[in-house]
């Protein structure tokens, strides 16, 4: 990851987040979602906790969302998205026994720089008016020579330089390896399902123009290709990653059983 610019972490403004930690599984879900489209921005909510004493945000899970529109210049939330996020985190808190909140948002910048656009900064400022600790993550994907190893991530908040000028400030991010939680396993299942539903919804949406047989066949085939691409680009790597984890877990169980047998013989 490239270092972030504009790092103004000495601000004492209310809600100022100094550092963000992201759980490896939550990051994998964000990246899978971001890499699901080379042409359209995707977005979702970041779920976790705020450590008030250290002004640190801890991202434990994510909630990918359907786009309100497919204009790559204009990804934005609907008010329904925050209601869905609130219901989701309430369920998650109950099931996990941990207090979870919607603490931020993420979106992708396919084929463009990672830095927040003017519209991103304006939206972020609006979100911080409601929740001062709220922050944004941006993933720049399919941008020039960027690969999954070298792609760029930007985490940011905004601050008022003067009453009329809002500026961005970038926040350091670290990745935390953690045990595999049920809510991220659910996310692994939910993401391909969400992408399928999005494509199928677009397919069944009535067209303004009457399509001839050739155009209907073209629409059918392009939707089929899109669904196959989701299988190839999202579902298959996720399944592969889960199978690898299962193998490692089984190996660890065998090692622990061996250790237990050894200790019982002492
Ligand atoms: Zn943006």
pLDDT at 121: 92
Q: Report the separation in Å between the CA atom of 133 and the middle of ligand 1, taken as the mean of its atom positions.
A: 19
Q: Report the separation in Å between the CA atom of 3 and the middle of ligand 1, taken as the mean of its atom positions.
A: 18
Q: Which stretch, 32-41, 135-144, 161-170, 252-261, has highest mean pLDDT?
A: 252-261
Q: Report the separation in Å between the CA atom of 115 and the middle of ligand 1, taken as the mean of its atom positions.
A: 8
32 in helix, strand or coil?
A: helix
Which has more pLDDT, 55 or 266? Answer: 55
Cα 104 to Cα 11, 51, 55, 211: the distances in Å are 19, 14, 14, 42
Q: Among residues of the chain, what percentage have pLDDT more than 70? A: 90
Cα 63 to Cα 40, 98, 163, 243: the distances in Å are 18, 17, 34, 23
pLDDT at 74: 61
Q: At what angle do helices 236-265 and 24-34 cross, to 10 degrees?
A: 160
Say whether pLDDT at 100 is over 70: yes
Q: Which stretch, 168-177, 210-219, 233-242, has highest mean pLDDT?
A: 168-177
Q: Report the separation in Å between the CA atom of 113 and the middle of ligand 1, taken as the mean of its atom positions.
A: 9
Q: Report the separation in Å between the CA atom of 35 and the middle of ligand 1, taken as the mean of its atom positions.
A: 15
Tokens found for residue 20: 């963000």
Q: Report the separation in Å between the CA atom of 135 and the middle of ligand 1, taken as the mean of its atom positions.
A: 13
pTM: 0.81
Q: Report the separation in Å between the CA atom of 234 and the middle of ligand 1, taken as the mean of its atom positions.
A: 22
Say whether pLDDT at 265 is over 80: yes
User: Read out DSSP for 186-244?
Assistant: HHHHHHHHHHHHHHHHHHHSPPSS---HHHHHHHHHHHHHHHHHHIIIIIHHHHHHHHH
Ion ligand 1 residue ranges (Cβ < 5 Å)? 117, 120
Q: Report the separation in Å between the CA atom of 257 and the middle of ligand 1, taken as the mean of its atom positions.
A: 50
Q: Among residues of the chain, what percentage have pLDDT more than 90? A: 35
Say whether pLDDT at 147 is over 60: no
Q: Which residues pair with 59 in a beta bridge?
A: 22, 48
pLDDT at 188: 82
Which pLDDT band, with edges at 50, 70 and 90, does 7 fall under?
very low
Where does 8-145 have alpha helices with state H? 24-34, 79-96, 118-130
pLDDT at 103: 95
Q: Report the separation in Å between the CA atom of 221 and the middle of ligand 1, taken as the mean of its atom positions.
A: 31
* 186-234 pLDDT, tens digit each: 888 888 888 888 888 888 877 777 888 888 888 888 888 888 888 887 8
Tokens found for residue 2: 């490239």
Burial class (CB in 10 A: 0-12, 13-18, 19+), 80: exposed
Q: Report the separation in Å between the CA atom of 41 and the middle of ligand 1, taken as the mean of its atom positions.
A: 8
CB atoms within 10 A of CB 254: 10
* 39-73 pLDDT, tens digit each: 889 999 999 999 988 899 999 999 999 876 555 45
Region 10-29: mean pLDDT is 80
Region 114-143: mean pLDDT is 91
Q: Report the separation in Å between the CA atom of 242 and the middle of ligand 1, taken as the mean of its atom positions.
A: 31
Tokens 């193998």 belong to 247
* Closest among 33, 61, 2 to 186, alpha carbons compared: 61
Q: Report the separation in Å between the CA atom of 120 and the middle of ligand 1, taken as the mean of its atom positions.
A: 5
Q: How far apart are CA 246 and CA 155, in angstroms?
A: 32
pLDDT at 61: 92
């Amino acid at each position: 990851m490239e270092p972030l610019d504009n790092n103004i972490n000495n601000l004492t403004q209310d809600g100022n987040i100094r550092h963000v930690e992201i759980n490896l599984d939550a990051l994998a879900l964000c990246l899978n979602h971001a890499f699901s489209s080379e042409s359209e921005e995707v977005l979702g909510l970041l779920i976790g906790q705020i450590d008030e004493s250290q002004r640190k945000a801890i991202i434990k899970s994510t909630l990918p969302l359907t786009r309100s529109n497919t204009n790559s210049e204009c990804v934005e939330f609907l008010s329904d998205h925050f209601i869905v996020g609130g219901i989701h985190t309430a369920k998650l808190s109950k099931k996990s026994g941990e207090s979870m909140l919607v603490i931020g948002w993420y979106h992708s910048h396919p084929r463009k720089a990672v830095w927040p656009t003017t519209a991103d900064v304006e939206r972020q400022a609006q979100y911080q008016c409601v929740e001062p600790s709220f922050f944004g993550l941006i993933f720049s994907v399919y941008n020039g020579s960027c690969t999954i190893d070298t792609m760029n991530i930007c985490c940011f908040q905004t601050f008022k330089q003067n009453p009329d000028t809002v500026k961005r400030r970038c926040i350091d991010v670290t990745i935390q390896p953690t045990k595999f939680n049920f809510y991220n396993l659910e996310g692994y299942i939910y993401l391909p399902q969400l992408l399928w539903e999005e494509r199928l919804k677009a397919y069944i949406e009535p067209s303004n123009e009457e399509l001839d047989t050739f155009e209907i066949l073209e629409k059918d085939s392009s939707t089929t290709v899109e669904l196959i691409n989701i299988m190839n680009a999202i579902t298959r790597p996720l399944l592969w990653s889960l199978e690898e984890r299962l193998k490692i877990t089984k190996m660890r169980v065998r090692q622990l059983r061996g250790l237990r047998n050894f200790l019982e013989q002492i």
